[in-house]
Amino acid sequence: MRNNILKVCALLISSLSLSSCTFIIDIFDSSSSNSTSSSNDPNIYTSLSTTTTTYEENSLLIYENPNPLVLEKGGYHDINFDNASVNNLIYTYSDINDHSIYSNIDNAPSVGELNILVVPVQFGDTDINADEKTRLDIYNAYFGDEETTGFESVSSYFYKTSYGRLKISGVVTPWYQTNVTSRIGNETQVASLADRALDWYKQSFNDDATTFDSDSNGYIDCICLIYNVPSNYNGNDNLWAYTYWANNVSNIASPNVSTFFWASTSFMYESRYCDIDGHTYIHEMGHALGLDDYYNYDDYSYENVAGGYIMQSHNVGDHDPFSKMALGWVDPLVVYGSTTVTLESFTESGQCIVLKGNQDQNMNSPFDEYIVIDLYTPTNLNKFDSDHLLSAGYPQGPKTTGVRIWHVDSRLAKYHSRGSWSYELVSEIEDGYYYQTACSNSTDFMGYGTSISECINYRLLHLLEKDNRFDFKDGDYFDANDMWYAGESFTFEKYNQYFADYPTLNNGEMFNFEITVDTIINNTATITIEVN
């Protein structure tokens, strides 16, 4: 959603068996808040496979991700195409949030090794679901593997979607038993609960929590509060899934809460196609990294121009090319003249092509306006959600392979000071100024939509429809008819209805490229791009 106040509808989820992954336990007596165990002392840990049943209740479940961290970005590496170059993008959402117009916004780093804190929360008025089986399911939803869950965990999904650039480990605590009831009413109350849960963890395990602050900015990267009652329990509409921020000062020596997300245990059990469904937890983790929602919050509009079938829209499939560029996982191939290129599966390789107005080859920021081309395949992180329709009302991915074309307008509003309404639209980030993304996929102006009047008609991420019907404006979802196949072409003139300021892009630039799909063979497309 907009204005960096990211909440997320709980859209999907499942049930789960115990993982075959190894985790470590720290014995903890929940009857005493003065435990002298130290989470920094390796002698108190015991390795234990979840295939056994001899674990100790009320223990820390600690996962250390064994996968290697990949330093090279996804996408093209060795290329030999005319009028094309692989551009190194130097900005990510972390740079925006470090200079955010909102003073309390932080995000979890999207590249490197990340350690997250997961706290199962038992409300004071009910112990429903607050048992060890559910807690181990939470562990597997975050840190299990595809064989264990039937889908992916948060950790395994983000390792794949980032092409190995993000390696998530973490801790699941014992149940945090609070006197707060299931009538908890708003984000501010949840932020206070997150503060208390972190204090409880620090005191109970004699841990300063610095291992959860990978960028050493005085805030733990992310605390995940998973409450024990079902979503919307007793009609409480604050019991859904969302990401928010606490208004705390930073503390390098003992980090405080900033980014937190809030979700029900019931989201793990909503799908009949896997044992434990992590879709909603994965979607929320995307927000913790800085990503927006790409669906529409406006009750008076059906518009859903991202097409639904991406993780930050309707919790299904892989992430889209813009999101992966903006998180530092992919560098694009920028084409600035006539050429013929090959393009491999985006979900498998990260390859994508960017075309800017006026044949501009200069691009060092994902926060700009451009056209993106990628190749959709029903494989890798698209496979599960193309094989299964998780629930009525959600999109199922096509089983065919085709070329997708996206229009991105992710330009930034640059302010000279917080509280100022004077801004300019830019693509680069400078120290001494404050920023927010200018465009939104929500049409409710000054709500979750944009607060910038000149951007009301512009969308942050628009998946174009090859059939040229613009069904997304009526709420339809992405399907096979929305992709380009061999022999089919895109021109700006033919698809002008998708561009608010035609005959130019939103930024006033001309777009003179014609894109033709020559062939699609074995999950590789050959594409000819001509300048008219």
Supply the DSSP symbol for 233.
G
The predicted structure's pLDDT at residue 64: 97
Residue 380, CA atoms < 13 Å, CB-side half-sphere = 21
Q: What is the mean pLDDT of residues 103-128?
A: 95
Give me the sign of the Cα torsion angle 109, 114, 115, 120: positive
Displacement of CA 384 from its chain's centroid (Å):
18
Instruction: With CA atoms as reference, report the closest residue to 113 among 221, 256, 2.
Output: 221
Q: What is the pLDDT of residues 71-82, one digit of tens each?
A: 999 999 989 999
Residue 10, CA atoms < 13 Å, CB-side half-sphere = 26
- Asked if residue 510 lies in contact with residue 493, where contact means CB atoms within 8 angstroms, the answer is no
Q: What is the pLDDT of residues 288-315, one digit of tens each?
A: 999 999 999 998 899 999 999 999 999 9
Q: What's the chain's average pLDDT?
A: 89
The predicted structure's pLDDT at residue 8: 33
The predicted structure's pLDDT at residue 448: 84
Contacts for 508 with CB less than 8 Å, ≥ 6 apart? 501
The predicted structure's pLDDT at residue 6: 34
Question: What six digits make up the tokens of 242?
Answer: 């969302």
User: 322 pLDDT exceeds 80?
Assistant: yes
Q: How far apart (Å, rounded) are the C-alpha atoms in residues 473 and 136?
A: 42
Q: What is the pLDDT of residues 17-50, one digit of tens each?
A: 222 333 343 333 333 333 323 333 322 222 333 3
Q: How many CB atoms lie within 10 A of CB 83?
A: 15
The predicted structure's pLDDT at residue 56: 65
The predicted structure's pLDDT at residue 146: 86
Instruction: With CA atoms as reference, report the closest residue to 404 among 343, 498, 484.
Output: 484
Per mean pLDDT, which range of 156-160, 338-342, 417-421 is the poorest?
Answer: 417-421
Listed as own residue / partner, the contacts of 34-37 with beta carbons closer than 8 Å and 24 or more positions apart are: 34/203, 35/204, 35/205, 35/206, 36/206, 37/205, 37/206
Contacts for 263 with CB less than 8 Å, ≥ 6 apart? 10, 224, 225, 226, 227, 231, 240, 241, 242, 280, 281, 284
The predicted structure's pLDDT at residue 26: 36
Q: How confident is the model at residue 414 (pLDDT cuts 50, 70, 90)?
A: very high
Q: What is the pLDDT of residues 267-282, one digit of tens each?
A: 999 888 999 999 999 9
Q: What is the pLDDT of residues 194-204, one digit of tens each?
A: 999 999 999 99
Give me the sign of the Cα torsion angle 149, 151, 153, 156: positive
State the pTM of this model.
0.90
